[in-house]
């Protein structure tokens, strides 16, 4: 019996011994390399007056326990709150050893200003390029240097408000979305917002062609595309947690998801190319200001078109949908804030589905609504963590030494993770009630100079290009939703306390509980 059991286990135990041995060798080599590099940098550190930042202590060699914890929090859907806990315990800047490689985590506005703007040339995207390549290929999000500058200068003019007619398209999509909500029934708004933002992004990129295709086959294909995009993103998110060992996070579900996503985008682009050719051949045809036209003027290479469009689809869909979901969740849980939004919308455009649709000017006047969105982006920045890696040995301005005021050394290739979610909840920046939803805090002069302490859209040369578009879409959607359904009630069983809810962290942070609400036209009894 015992021999039979050994026979069965033997091949597995041999394989696991070999794998474990190899991993130990790899981690050991990385630790040795990291220490050797540190020695070389010692002189530089002395010259710059650097001191070590607190070590976020891993109890096991090579930080294996940190990796295990990261995966545990991933499964338990509490990663962002874990980062808050770490930064509260270790201070605004800490060092850690993960899989034998040293890296730095920071929630310091001064350090972020250095990384994103002042010392822009000292940092690059690190492992983002190989981590994201399978899905996003080469696009504005995964390029650097000349290529990135070219992509950015190509895309930027398309975002300026007079070049796209998206506002009318957003309005149409929002009307379509609201007409499907059943008043008084419990509705999960999260998937509805993801669908809305996918539709608006598709229209922005490709014009009428795609989002208007409403046969059941088209709808099914769009849904398959959406779910494949989610799967692929989950893989990318796990890859970002293991640095240069990203290639370990792979497998058939990821390959299938990438194939589905790419096939869908390729078909849409093919259609858009044909539509552009048709409209060119019709003399006097009305010029459509859509992204794909501008891209096609530069290239007809299907791979280049796919990579750029897919990146924008991802950026346009997920971040704005997350922003909408969290805003509505928070408003429903804060009746006082919801009332203020309702009163404001009512006084500017009136309530009721047949009331006048808000214009851009109306939206600008809705100051409280805009503050509510701003406050949501503080508590739930859709991109809650991000990172850069040093292109050469350099320093961060603060975080080292006993008082945390000395510069911190960053060796060439080491990564700096910046924890926007945790920074946005720092009490020394936002006050004792930092974890509360209080849009009024932005009326206070004390936050006028918050600068790099508030970064939902990033900053510096790589700051978000879609910010204006996203804010317009979010404000319009919530204003119009308030007109149709002025009252929101949280469904039973949903978490009420901020930060206690389960969260799904892919490249954006969304709600694991969804956003289950009752939307009603009159005040609930
Ligand atoms: C609430 C919504 C949004 C949020 C919170 C958001 C957030 C961000 C952040 C944090 C970055 C910087 C990334 C980095 O530095 O690594 C970024 C970049 C970018 N975003 Fe957004 N974004 C939003 C909506 C959009 C939309 C709707 C689009 C376009 C359809 C878009 C397109 C871009 C582009 C093109 C970049 C620049 C990438 C680069 O130059 O590296 N974003 N966004």
Per-residue pLDDT, averaged over 14-21, amounts to 70
**pLDDT mean over 36-46:** 81
Ligand 1: centre distance to CA 315 (Å)? 6
State which ligand 1 atom lies nearest to the alpha carbon of 148: 40
- Confidence (pLDDT) at 288: 57
Helix residue spans in 243-400 (DSSP H): 252-281, 291-298, 302-314, 320-333, 335-349, 360-365, 367-379
pLDDT in the model for residue 278: 76
CA distance 188 to 180: 12
pLDDT value of residue 392:
96
Q: Is the pLDDT of residue 427 over 80?
A: yes
The CA 470 to ligand 1 mean position distance, Å, reads 9
Mutate to test the pocket of ligand 1, among 148, 315, 389, 416 (most ligand atoms within 8 A of CB): 315
Q: What is the mean pLDDT of residues 76-90?
A: 89
How large is the average pLDDT for residues 233-246?
Answer: 85
The first and second tokens of residue 291, run together, are 């992204």
Name the residue with higher pLDDT: 79 or 520.
Answer: 520
**Rounded Cα gap, residues 132 and 138, in angstroms:** 9
Q: What's the rounded Cα separation, in Å, for the pair 207 and 291?
A: 8
Report residue 363 as tokens: 């939206």
For ligand 1, mutation pick of 424, 464, 467 (most atoms within 8 Å of CB): 464
Q: Is the CB of 386 under 6 A from ligand 1?
A: yes
pLDDT value of residue 156: 85
Tell me the CA–centroid distance for residue 96 and ligand 1, in Å: 28
332: three-class secondary structure by DSSP: helix
pLDDT band at 14 (very low <50, low <70, confident <90, very high): low
**What is the percent of the chain with per-residue pLDDT over 70, rounded to a whole number?**
88
Residues 96, 102 contacting (CB under 8 angstroms): yes
Q: At 80, is the pLDDT very low, low, confident or very high (cuts 50, 70, 90)?
A: very high
| pLDDT in the model for residue 149 | 95
Instruction: Return the pLDDT at 387.
Output: 93
Indicate whether residue 466 lines ligand 1 (CB < 6 A).
yes
- Do the Cβ atoms of 399 and 92 come closer than 8 Å? yes
Whether the pLDDT of residue 13 is over 70: the answer is no
- What is the phi/psi pair of residue 397, to 5°? -65, -25
Give me the pLDDT at residue 71, please.
79
213 has pLDDT over 90? no
Nearest CA to ligand 1 atom 28: 466
| CB-side neighbour CA atoms (13 Å) of 399 | 30
**Domain 2-520: which CATH number of 1.10.3720.10, 1.10.630.10, 3.40.50.1970, 2.40.110.10:** 1.10.630.10
378 lines ligand 1 (CB under 6 A): no
Kindly list the distances between the CA atom of residue 167 and the CA atoms of 189, 293, 474, in Å, as whole numbers in the listed order. Answer: 21, 18, 11
- C-alpha 128/C-alpha 144 separation (Å) is 11
332 burial level (CB within 10 Å; 0-12, 13-18, 19+): buried
Q: How many CA atoms lie within 13 A of 496 on its CB side?
A: 8
Question: In the predicted model, is pLDDT for residue 473 greater than 80?
Answer: yes
> Does 470 sit in the ligand 1 pocket, CB within 6 Å?
yes
pLDDT at 67: 75
Where are the extended beta strands (E) located within 73-150?
Answer: 93-98, 101-106, 123-124
* Distances 462 to 379, 387, 388, 458, 472 between C-alpha atoms, Å: 22, 12, 12, 7, 21
How many angstroms is it from 418 CA to the middle of ligand 1?
16
Q: What is the pTM of this model?
A: 0.90
Which range among 2-6, 9-13, 24-28 has the greatest average pLDDT? 24-28
Say whether pLDDT at 376 is over 80.
yes
Most confident listed range (51-55, 213-217, 459-463): 459-463
For the record, the structure tokens of 314 come out as 């991802």
Burial of 110 (0-12, 13-18, 19+ CB in 10 A): middle
* 208 pLDDT tier (thresholds 50, 70, 90): low
Mean pLDDT score across all residues of the chain:
88
> Does 295 contact ligand 1 (Cβ within 6 A)?
no
Whether 68 shows a pLDDT value over 90: the answer reads: no
Looking at ligand 1, which residue's alpha carbon is closest to its atom 35? 465
| CA–CA distance, 102 with 413 (Å, rounded to integer) | 10
Q: What DSSP state is assigned to residue 232?
A: H
Span 343-366, mean pLDDT?
97
Binding-site residues from annotation? 464
Q: Mean pLDDT lowest for which of 146-150, 473-477, 504-508? A: 504-508
Half-sphere CA count of 29, side-chain side, radius 13 A: 6
Is the shortest distance between the CB of 413 and ligand 1 below 6 Å? Answer: no
What separation in angstroms does the CA of 269 have from each of 214, 474, 475? 18, 27, 30
- pLDDT above 50 for 469: yes
Q: Is the pLDDT of residue 12 over 60?
A: no
| 287-300 pLDDT per residue, tens | 555 778 878 888 88
345 Cβ inside 6 Å of ligand 1: no
Ligand 1 centroid to Cα of residue 521, in Å, is: 34
CA pair distance 40, 306, nearest whole angstrom = 43
pLDDT score at 235:
92
**Tokens of residue 485, six digits:** 């359904």
Cα torsion through 319, 323, 326, 328, rounded to 10: -140
* CB-CB contact of 423 with 109 (8 Å): yes
Cα 156 to ligand 1 centre (Å):
12
Q: Is 360 helix (H, G, I), strand (E, B) or coil?
A: helix
The lowest-confidence range among 34-43, 78-87, 167-176 is 34-43
Q: How far apart are CA 470 and CA 152, in angstroms?
A: 18
pLDDT at 456: 98
CB of 212 closer than 8 Å to CB of 274: no
Residue 250: count other Cβ atoms within 10 Å of its Cβ. Answer: 13
What residues form the annotated binding site for heme?
A: 464
Round to whole Å and give the CA distance between 199 and 304.
22
Domain boundaries, the chain: 2-520
Q: How far is CA 212 from CA 176, 202, 249, 296, 470, in A?
A: 11, 10, 36, 21, 21
Cα 114 to Cα 233, 388, 392, 443, distances in angstroms: 29, 11, 14, 28
Closest ligand 1 atom to 322 CA? 1
Residue 284, pLDDT score: 53
Ligand 1 mutation pick, 146, 236, 319, max ligand atoms within 8 A of CB: 319
Task: Look at residue 206 in the predicted model and tell me its pLDDT.
Answer: 81
195: helix, coil or strand? helix
pLDDT class of 166 with cuts at 50, 70, 90: confident
8-state DSSP, 78: -
136 lines ligand 1 (CB under 6 A): no
Confidence at residue 162, expressed as pLDDT on a 0 to 100 scale = 47
CA distances for 418 relative to 84, 112, 455, 456, angstroms: 12, 7, 10, 12
């Amino acid at each position: 019996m015992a021999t039979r059991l050994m026979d069965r286990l033997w091949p597995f135990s041999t394989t696991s011994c070999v794998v474990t041995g190899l991993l130990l060798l790899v981690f050991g080599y990385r630790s040795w390399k990291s220490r050797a590099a540190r020695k070389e940098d010692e002189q530089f550190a002395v010259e710059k007056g650097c001191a070590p930042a607190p070590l976020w202590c891993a109890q096991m060699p090579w930080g294996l326990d940190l990796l295990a914890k990261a995966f545990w929090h991933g499964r338990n859907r509490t990663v962002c709150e874990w980062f808050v806990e770490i930064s509260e315990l270790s201070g605004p800047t800490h060092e850690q050893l993960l899989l034998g490689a040293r890296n730095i985590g920071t929630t310091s506005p001064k350090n972020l200003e250095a990384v994103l703007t002042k010392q822009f040339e000292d940092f690059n995207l690190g492992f983002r390029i190989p981590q994201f390549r399978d899905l996003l290929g080469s696009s504005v999000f995964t390029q650097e240097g000349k290529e990135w500058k070219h992509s950015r200068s190509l895309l930027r003019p398309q975002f300026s408000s007079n070049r796209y007619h998206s506002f009318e398209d957003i309005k149409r999509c929002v009307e379509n979305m609201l007409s499907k909500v059943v008043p008084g029934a419990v509705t999960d708004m999260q998937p509805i917002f993801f669908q809305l933002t996918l539709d608006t992004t598709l229209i922005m990129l490709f014009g009428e062609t795609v989002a208007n295709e409403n046969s059941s086959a088209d709808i099914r294909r769009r849904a398959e595309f959406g779910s494949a995009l989610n799967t692929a993103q989950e893989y990318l998110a796990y890859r970002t947690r293991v640095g240069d060992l990203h290639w370990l996070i792979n497998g058939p579900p990821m390959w299938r998801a990438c194939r589905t996503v790419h096939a869908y985008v390729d078909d849409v682009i093919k259609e858009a190319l044909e539509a552009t050719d048709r409209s060119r051949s019709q003399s006097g045809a009305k010029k459509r200001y859509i992204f794909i036209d501008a891209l096609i003027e530069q290239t007809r290479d299907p791979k280049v078109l796919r990579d750029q469009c897919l990146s924008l689809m991802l950026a346009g869909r997920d971040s704005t949908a997350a922003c909408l979901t969290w805003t509505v969740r928070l408003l429903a849980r804060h009746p006082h804030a919801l009332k203020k939004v309702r009163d404001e919308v009512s006084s500017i455009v009136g309530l009721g589905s047949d009331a006048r649709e808000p214009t851009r000017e109306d939206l600008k006047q809705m100051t409280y609504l805009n503050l509510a969105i701003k406050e949501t982006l503080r508590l739930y920045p859709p991109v809650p963590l991000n990172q850069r890696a040093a292109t050469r040995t350099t320093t961060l301005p603060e975080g080292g030494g006993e008082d945390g005021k000395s510069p911190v050394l960053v060796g060439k290739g080491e990564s700096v993770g910046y924890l926007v979610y945790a920074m946005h909840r720092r009490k020394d920046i936002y006050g004792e009630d930092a974890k509360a939803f209080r849009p009024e805090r932005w009326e206070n002069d004390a936050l006028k100079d918050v600068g790099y302490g508030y970064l939902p859209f990033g900053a510096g040369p790589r700051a978000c290009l879609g910010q204006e578009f996203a804010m317009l879409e979010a404000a319009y959607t919530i204003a119009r939703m308030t007109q149709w359904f002025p009252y929101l009630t949280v469904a039973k069983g949903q978490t009420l306390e901020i930060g206690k809810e389960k969260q799904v962290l892919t490249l954006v942070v969304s709600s694991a509980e969804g956003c289950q609400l009752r939307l009603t036209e009159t005040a609930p009894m």
